[in-house]
Amino acid sequence: MEQLELEDGLRLTDLATRAGITAQSMGELVDDLEAKSYLERRPDPDDRRAKRIYLTDRGRKNARVAKRATANVEDYLAELLGQQRYHLLRRSLEDIIVAESGDDGQR
């Protein structure tokens, strides 16, 4: 949902690429979030076969709550570990994500 906050109306394949998962997995996730009224599919004005994914009002509200919760956790960890160790933790987690995704960070 973070990607849709940045750029609402993405195609499912674009969301999947940005998330580093398959289109099939993203489709299942979008189905679930749509069933819970966080997202909605609308026809793509550029391609009648395609749909674009949009946040609903409920989805936008949930995304704001999630962003605040994430910021609170990050603030807590920075306070607990200190800034230097917190930044090391973040870099290490980012390295793990890149290694697991097979993405060398070059786009």
Q: Is residue 107 part of a domain?
A: no
By C-alpha distance, which of 17, 47, 13, 43 is closest to 27? 13
**pLDDT tens string 57-97:** 999 999 999 999 999 999 999 999 999 999 999 999 999 98
CA distance readout (Å), 45 to 6, 10, 17, 54: 20, 12, 21, 14
* Same-domain pairing of 69 and 41: no
Position 104 scores a pLDDT of 52
Alpha-carbon gap, residue 101 to 30, rounded angstroms: 20
* Same-domain pairing of 25 and 70: no
Domain count, the chain: 2
| Domain endpoint, select from 21, 40, 56 | 56
Cβ(18)–Cβ(11) below 8 Å: no
pTM of the model: 0.72
* Same-domain pairing of 45 and 64: no
**pLDDT tens string 15-64:** 999 888 899 999 999 999 999 999 999 999 999 899 999 999 999 999 99
Residue linked to tokens 């994430």: 70
